[in-house]
């Protein structure tokens, strides 16, 4: 009886939204599919010839394709915490760092859905890396785990988790008529990749599109195509899940949100507040509830997903949210979406510096400009250059860049004139402020912060960024800016570096 009452409350709340009477028959289901380390524009719906994503393209065709969607952090753990809470990484304490804890005082929307009678769960990667148990939570912030179903992966870099089978198992356990929320967190295209998997997939090197922040050669192209191969694998499970929704008659009543947690794991992308680090794919459909074949060019953030879930279900959020509801954009009311900028930041990404210190950044994208503030420009943005081994020897580090052929190529060829600029771009120290004109320089190669032509833009963006950090109580500009260095690292390797001068 209690569950029925909860259902009726959700249905009643939905009466206030939408023009389609079908909205009012039952609470909507929610399917969130989030890939691990995928940048915009790496989906074929965006015109990329390097990847094939029929699942993502289907969602975009059935609903809306967003061209300017950004995450709140270029690292998976804080980015996922934002998506789940509707708060910025600097608003959730330890969860805004990496491989730490996630205080239960910050309410994640799956908790609210479960209390409202939803059947909830996740497969693959939920919130993480980090330790949610130590925070007193009953399950991963993304939901209870469904990872028992496995498969034999086609390539060594692919997870054994059968996301599709776990989704079917999850659906089989719900009660008749019960609405559901499910999170499909693919491990792909996170590194490591199987080297040369692209050739087995049938790609050719000519299909690779090398971004301007990497040198163009066969090593880099091969690495990018291995990345593209893993995107296709993740997308195949998205398509399978869509087919399962159709088979069970749930497709039209399910809002499907497909995105990524941060940018691709290549030098000068992931763990950086460059466009490649925080600009991600996003597509949303909801059966016949929203108009199909939309292209939305408004700046939006994945911090908006939690408010959107609250809006479609009619539930009250667990805390004041920093994001905004995307439904006005999805239903043609662009004036109902008030933001004109998106914000991101990072602190510690991995154990990459002496004494486990981070590299604090904050950023804003406004109009066609990206501003990054580096709060400790004396530190190395990609991590300290050398690690000290147990025998005292030194080896190349820069551990805020995931290991792989592209990183190793830059390290091995750093002294060559043709490669040195790319190495320096990814590894060298940076000034306090970086400003990029994305209309001319989406690869963020040319910092124009000192260019007199951009004085007004720089002043405006500095003020907008500071205003946002003040109103969202960012401790990085508050009374205790270094509290971030006290948050424990609970997962991952511990390393030894030389003490900074």
286-339 confidence digits (pLDDT tens): 999 999 999 999 999 999 999 999 999 999 999 999 999 999 999 998 889 999
Terminal-to-terminal C-alpha distance of the chain: 66
Q: Where are the domains of the chain?
A: 2-12+26-330, 345-486
Q: Model pTM?
A: 0.95
3-state secondary structure (DSSP) of residue 302: helix
- CA nearest to 372, candidates 321, 428, 309, 433: 433
Residue 388's pLDDT is what? 96
Of 306, 363, 300, 366, residue with least CA distance to 337? 300
**CB 354, CB 499: distance < 8 Å:** yes
How far is residue 195 from each of residues 43, 59, 339, measured CA to CA in Å?
A: 21, 30, 42
**Which contacts qualify for 14-23: CB closer than 8 Å, 24 or more apart?**
14/312, 14/313, 14/314, 16/314, 17/311, 17/312, 17/314, 17/327, 18/289, 18/331, 19/331, 20/288, 20/289, 22/252, 22/253, 22/287, 22/288, 22/289, 23/289
Written as one string, the DSSP assignment of 397-413 is --TTS--SHHHHHHHHT
pLDDT of residue 501: 57
**Going by C-beta distance under 8 Å and a sequence separation of 6 or more, which residues neighbour residue 144?**
120, 121, 122
Residues of the chain below pLDDT 50: 1-24
Vertex 302 angle, CA 297 and 304, to 5°: 85
Q: How far apart are CA 144 and CA 146, in angstroms?
A: 7
Q: State residue 494's pLDDT score.
A: 87
CA dihedral sign, ordered 231, 233, 235, 237: negative
pLDDT for residue 489: 93
Architecture of the domain defined by 2-12+26-330: 3-Layer(aba) Sandwich (3.40)
Quote the DSSP letter at residue 286.
B
Per-residue pLDDT at 25: 65
Distance CA 353, CA 305 (A): 33
Residue 291 to residue 269: CA distance in whole angstroms = 33
Distances (CA, A) of 262 to 78, 114, 193, 277, 317: 10, 27, 17, 6, 25
User: Which segments within 216-271 are labelled E, that is strand?
Assistant: 254-260
For residue 492, give the nearest of 348, 278, 277 by alpha carbon: 348
């Amino acid at each position: 009886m209690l569950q029925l009452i909860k259902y009726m409350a959700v249905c009643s709340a939905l009466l206030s939204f939408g023009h389609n009477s079908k909205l009012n028959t039952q609470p909507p289901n929610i399917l969130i599919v989030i890939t691990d380390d995928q940048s915009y524009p790496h989906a074929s719906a965006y015109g990329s010839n390097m990847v094939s994503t029929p699942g993502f393209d289907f969602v975009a065709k059935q609903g809306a394709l967003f061209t300017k969607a950004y995450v709140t952090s270029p690292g998976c753990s804080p980015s996922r915490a934002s998506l789940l809470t509707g708060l910025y990484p600097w608003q959730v304490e330890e969860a805004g760092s990496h491989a730490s804890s996630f205080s239960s005082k910050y309410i994640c929307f799956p908790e609210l859905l479960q209390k409202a009678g939803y059947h909830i769960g996740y497969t693959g990667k939920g919130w993480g890396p980090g330790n949610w148990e130590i925070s007193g939570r009953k399950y991963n912030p993304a939901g209870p785990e469904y990872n028992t179903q496995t498969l034999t992966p086609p390539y060594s870099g692919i997870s054994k988790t059968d996301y599709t089978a776990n989704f079917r198992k999850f659906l089989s356990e719900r009660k008749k008529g019960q609405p559901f929320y499910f999170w499909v967190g693919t491990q792909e295209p996170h590194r490591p990749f199987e080297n040369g998997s692209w050739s087995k997939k049938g790609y050719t090197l000519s299909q690779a599109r090398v971004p301007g922040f990497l040198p163009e050669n066969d090593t880099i192209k091969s690495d990018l195509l291995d990345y593209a191969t893993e995107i296709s694998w993740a997308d195949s499970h998205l398509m399978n899940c869509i087919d399962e929704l159709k088979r069970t008659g749930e497709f039209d009543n399910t809002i499907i949100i497909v995105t990524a947690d941060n940018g691709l794991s290549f030098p000068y992308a992931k763990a950086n507040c460059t466009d490649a680090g925080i600009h991600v794919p996003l597509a949303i459909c909801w059966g016949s509830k929203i108009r199909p074949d939309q292209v939305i060019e408004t700046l939006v953030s994945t911090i908006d997903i939690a408010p959107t879930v609250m809006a479609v279900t009619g539930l009250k959020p667990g805390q004041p949210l920093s994001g905004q509801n995307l439904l006005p954009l999805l239903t043609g009311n662009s004036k109902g979406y008030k933001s004109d900028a998106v914000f991101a930041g990072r602190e510690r990404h991995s154990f990459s510096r002496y004494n486990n210190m981070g590299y604090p950044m904050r950023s804003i994208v406004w109009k066609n400009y990206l501003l990054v503030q580096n709060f400790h420009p004396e530190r190395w943005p990609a991590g300290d250059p050398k690690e000290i081994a147990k025998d005292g020897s030194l080896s190349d580090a820069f551990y805020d860049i995931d290991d792989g052929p592209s990183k190793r190529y830059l390290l091995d060829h750093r002294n060559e004139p043709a490669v040195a600029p790319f190495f320096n771009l990814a590894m060298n120290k940076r000034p306090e402020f970086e400003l990029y004109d994305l209309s001319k320089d989406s690869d963020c190669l040319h910092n124009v912060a000192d260019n007199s032509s951009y004085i007004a833009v720089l002043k405006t963006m500095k003020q907008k960024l500071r205003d946002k950090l003040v109103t969202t109580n960012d401790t990085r500009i508050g009374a205790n800016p270094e509290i971030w260095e006290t948050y424990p690292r609970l997962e991952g390797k511990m390393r030894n570096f030389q003490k900074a001068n």
